[in-house]
Structure 1
Amino acid sequence: MISNTRRPKHRNRIRIMMMNEREKNMVEITQKEAAEMLLQHDSILVLMHKSPDGDTIGCGYALCLALRACGKQAQPVCSDEVPAQYNYFTDSVPTQTFTPQFIVSVDVADTQLLGDTLSVYRDKIDLCIDHHGSNKRFARYGIIEAAAPACAQMLTGIIREMGVPIQGAMADALFTGLTTDTGCFRYASVTAETYRTAAYLVEQGAQNGTINRLMFETKSKAKVELEKLAMASLQYFCDEQIALICITTEMMQAAGAVDNDTESIPSLPRQIEGVKVAVTVKQKGEQDFRISLRTTEEVDASQICAQLGGGGHKAAAGCSYHGTLEETIEKMVALSVKALESSV
């Protein structure tokens, strides 16, 4: 168990700005400055978002490996259990117990995404490393690169600035973050820099073939069954430009699925020809739903989700809604239709 009591920070190399307790103004820094800041501290806690995906997990573990390579104490933490499918690099980071001097979040756009277990750290985050344009600027310092398709692309640069050799499990972790958040490099957000980063990681030993097979071509029987049930709920709206599927508690139980089995399902309805907005409504409680949007270039998913307090990227975003399943569907269809009409 890691204590949330923190020792005074070293302040001799990076100027620390005092911030009003009621309103924190995040100071934006560069990759080099982030690297220098990380190297100034000896015990660092790395926060990942709840319902963790490959990017937040890859970044959390890669950063801890880099810090440990520098002789520091570092531990990744998450409100939810990290899925076993990532054991090929997570097993390289045994648990450490310490009192953190410095707290970092990776791939976290909003402190609400930390989950209940890590809520104690919401107002204690020193450095935020993120690639979401909707980031809430909650940390004391931050490096936010909305143009980066994955946080792992940014972190690869930061670790290189730290002067730490990237190899073995660290290379695998970073490549995992990069490939999962880009859909195996299929999304329009992928840039030339993304391919250069991927090439560098492969040169450093990342097992790209094995990782891509595990992430995109390997499914449990429960996941296959859940995909079948979810697609059976498919509904079309707005001249079939909107495709909506549901994942209910009953479906999860019938398939014998776990939360991680839902991760790639939101991409399925977007694959249908002619669909511009793919909506996945996932039940979290009796009247609580998590919505995942995937859109084509004509529609901004983050703007739709922002209307319900969510956010994300232009082509992939999420939000929550409280109500019945029917009310949730009606709300999301209305917002999606409005977005489509505005894009014309």
Structure 2
Amino acid sequence: MTTNLKKSWDELTDLIDKSGSILLSTHFNPDGDGLGSEIGFYYHLKNIGKECRIINISHMPEIYDCIDPDGIIETYSTNHDEWLNKVDVTILFDIGDYKRINEIYPQIKESKIVLFDHHPLQKDNPYSVIVLDLGSPATGYMVWKYLQYISTDEFELDIISANALYAALITDTGSFRYSSTHADAHLMAAHLLESGVKPYEIHRAIYEQRKLSQVRLMSYVIQALQISDDGKLAWYIIDAEMIEKSGANLSDIDGFTEFVRTIQGVEVAFMIQEVSPQTHRINFRSSGNYIINDVAKEFGGGGHIYAAG
């Protein structure tokens, strides 16, 4: 499903115009797309005089400090509840499932909730406005298109918003190598560069600052790697002992399954990670010949057809 974007954008604009306070948020264990989208939207709202805050359920990984120089992203605690209970509008970016904001949801469920996403839509949802494009290469791309749509003069972005949306674009397109990358994604990149983005600086901050703990954990993953007899399926398990021995954390695992998928001949890769003795996280990646989000749904998850969990 893809909504009528112009209709959705108009509904969103009207809702924002009538709002007093606005919450922006994304899913737990946030990635570059969710973070970049909400940062880019935050500065738009501030520019039009709106009261807004970004409050996420999880801490932002350090690699994304480069797109939040003002330190606007907050991590939820119960101290936020009084403000959250008074919010008029909540905008969720790249969420997949609204339950992925965890403890924040009960605090904002009475607000008007807006979805900004490119993941499949749940049948039962609390959204007042849905901005959905399953063909979008990134939620950040959708934010960029919306800002372009409402721009009455020449479309310009401040450098912080441009950097944030560029990070959203490169992280969700695999630096423009995934099949979801289309021509307009490159036009977006060109516009962001014209706005002052320096690609190498963003790329280096996100992809070339690996901690030693992450490298140690990767060595354990390689040792634990299993390959099917036909070489098309690869998988690995990360348990609590591996995390403890390496000194790694949850954000250090990002990208491991995609790395395993790039092994010659592998069509599908998946990870099983021990979060607690009772809870495990599963992450799937496909080369494009096999749809894997239906498998994720069997375990209560979801996502894109070739990237899910």
Contact 1:104 1:129 in 2 (8 A): yes
Task: Find the aligned partners of 2:185 and 2:39 in 1 and give their Cα distance.
Answer: 20
Q: How does 1:288-307 map to 2 (within 5 A)?
A: 288-307=279-298
Q: Which has the higher contact order (CA 8 A, sep 6+)?
A: 2
Q: Which amino acid aligns with 2:137?
A: P
1:103 aligned onto 2:90: yes
TM-score, scaled to structure 2: 0.88
3-state DSSP class of the match of 1:240?
Answer: coil
Mapped pair 1:237 → 2:228: yes
Q: Pick from 123, 127, 146: which aligns with 1:158?
A: 146
The aligned residue for residue 339 of structure 1 is none
Shift in Å, 1:245? 1.2
1:132 counterpart residue number: 119
Asked if residue 148 in structure 1 is aligned to residue 149 in structure 2, the reply is: no
Change (3 A) 1:94 1:297: closer
Equivalent residue number for residue 195 of structure 1: 186
* Equivalence map 1:1-344=2 (5 Å): 29-94=7-72, 98=83, 99-122=86-109, 124-136=111-123, 137-163=125-151, 165-318=156-309
C-alpha deviation, 1:94, in angstroms = 3.7
Q: Whole-Å Cα distance in 2 between the matches of residues 32 and 125 of structure 1?
A: 15
* Secondary structure, aligned partner of 2:252: helix
Gaps of 5+ in 1: 1-25, 319-344
Per-residue CA distance 1:61-107 (angstroms, 9 max, x = gap): 11111101111111111111112222223232547985422111111
Q: 1:220 to 1:135 in 2, by over 3 A?
A: farther
Q: Alignment RMSD, CA only? A: 2.2
Counterpart contact for 2:42–2:53, Cα < 8 Å: yes
The CA deviation string for residues 151-177 of structure 1, in whole angstroms up to 9 with x for no partner, is 000001112233374121111111111
Cα distance in 2 for residues equivalent to 1:30 and 1:81 = 30
Question: Aligned partners of 2:203, 2:211: CA distance in 1, in Å?
Answer: 16
Number of aligned pairs?
A: 293
SS for the counterpart of 1:115 is helix
Following superposition, the deviation at residue 143 of structure 1 comes to 0.8
Deviation at 1:35, TM superposition (A): 3.4
Report the CA distance between 1:231 and its aligned residue: 1.7
